[in-house]
């Protein structure tokens, strides 16, 4: 019996889950909460929120559920940024000059 790509991906990624437990995701509130939707991770931080990974949103109920979870998280991030009000053009660390370092492997 063959399995389709979606079933294999879902089995490999498991159900959508969050490491936040019963605590809701509050962007920029702490450095310890992460939300996982499929293979996408949204890591909280007090000065930034990092989004990494990838996700395939299938045309099914599971895809809709995951899309809603992502929408809720993104809306919370946008709301937190808008409530902050007086935001700089870029954060201080983004303005820091880059420097070259010797490649330790080459």
Q: Are 45 and 31 in contact (CB under 8 A)?
A: yes
Stronger pLDDT, 48 or 7, i.e. the higher one? 48
- pLDDT given at position 70: 95
User: Residue 50 above 50 pLDDT?
Assistant: yes
What does the pLDDT average to over 8-34?
A: 61
Tokens of 84: 């902050």
Q: Provide the H-helix boundaries in 1-106.
A: 5-13, 61-84, 92-95
Stronger pLDDT, 71 or 89, i.e. the higher one? 71
User: Residue 43 above 90 pLDDT?
Assistant: yes
- pLDDT given at position 98: 67
User: Residue 9 above 80 pLDDT?
Assistant: no
């Amino acid at each position: 019996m063959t399995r389709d790509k979606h079933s294999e991906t879902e089995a490999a990624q498991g159900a959508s889950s969050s490491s936040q437990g019963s605590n809701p995701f509050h962007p920029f509130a702490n450095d310890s909460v992460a939300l996982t939707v499929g293979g996408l991770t949204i890591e909280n931080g007090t000065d930034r929120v990092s989004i990494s990974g990838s996700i395939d949103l299938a045309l099914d109920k599971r895809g809709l559920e995951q899309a809603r979870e992502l929408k809720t998280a993104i809306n919370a991030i946008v709301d937190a940024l808008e409530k902050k009000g007086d935001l700089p053009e870029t954060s201080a660390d983004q303005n820091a000059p880059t420097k070259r370092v010797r490649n330790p492997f080459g």
